[in-house]
Amino acid sequence: MPDDPAAAYARDGVICLRACLDAGWVARAVAGLERQNAAPGPLSQVFPARRGSGAFLSHLHGWRHDPDIRAVALESPLPQAVAEIMGVAKLRLLYDQSFTKEPGADAPTPWHHDITFWPVDGGPLGSAWIALDHVDEDSGAVHFLAGSHLSPARYRPTQPDTPQTRTRANMQLPPAPDGWTVSEPQRISFDLAPGDVLLFDARTLHGARGNRRPDRARRALTIRYAGPGVRWVAGAHALAFEQPITLGHGDPLSGPDFPLAWPR
């Protein structure tokens, strides 16, 4: 008998929700992502590939500008599914992030966990990684260290070590361990179809290789959600926002910067 989804999520810190979003929602997510790729914003990034010609692109806070991304984050079946698995009655949108590994983009995602990037504390906190293309090992499937979210250890954000980044929170922490040295069954990954969703805890260690496929991109839209116990942490963090957040240190997330995603 398959695991209960909530129990599997609590145990492993990651679960795959098959066909969570239908083709219509996937099309809206793709449309929003491609608009971001065509017109990058001030918080967009392009990560250089080690070899090959493809690029690895990332964009933040699309929900603030793009109606399709906002709809996926707040109006699709996703928030209810996430709330049920997290076991919370209320869920807020923290932010969104889109990723494109173009065909041939030999640009790995370093091993990390998300919690030390974010200016928040408490929980639960989770990311819903929506596959917008077929994903397999050759195209850069995300790997997770099952159960790593249960460890109290914290690791520094994966940012370049510069005078500017050294002033940000958590940069004094040690780097995350190399997950590629861990064998199965602890290191797990999933082949995905468009509309499948990887839901993972903000503390779960994860990483990915580059996209070795010459024939297709690996596109994903990730929605970050916060449960009712999450509070704002003041100070400079790796995660940037386009405008000042007016919450005080220790305040629960609220207001238009962190809209209620569930219940609607």
Where do the domains of the chain lie?
5-262
Contact 196, 131 (CB under 8 A): yes
pLDDT of residue 52: 65
CA pair distance 91, 229, nearest whole angstrom: 10
In percent, how much of the chain has pLDDT > 70?
A: 97
The CATH topology of domain 5-262 is Jelly Rolls (2.60.120)
Give 125's Cβ-side CA count (13 Å radius).
Answer: 23
Asked whether residue 165 carries a pLDDT value surpassing 90, the answer given is no
* Secondary structure (3-state) at 254: coil
**If you average pLDDT over residues 231-235, what whole number do you get?**
97
CA pair distance 197, 209, nearest whole angstrom: 19
pTM attached to this predicted model: 0.95
CA pair distance 149, 99, nearest whole angstrom: 23
Q: Please tell me what DSSP assigns to residue 87.
A: T
CA pair distance 132, 118, nearest whole angstrom: 25
Cβ count near 9 (within 10 Å): 24
Longest dimension (CA), the chain: 53
Q: Report the first-to-last Cα separation within the chain, whole angstroms.
A: 33
> Could you report the per-residue pLDDT of 70-124, keeping only the tens digit for each?
999 999 999 999 999 999 999 999 999 999 999 999 889 999 999 999 999 999 9
Strands 91-101 and 218-226: antiparallel
Environment class of 78 (CB within 10 Å of its CB; exposed 0-12, middle 13-18, buried 19+): buried
Contact 80, 223 (CB under 8 A): no
What is the Cα 125 distance to its own chain's centre?
11
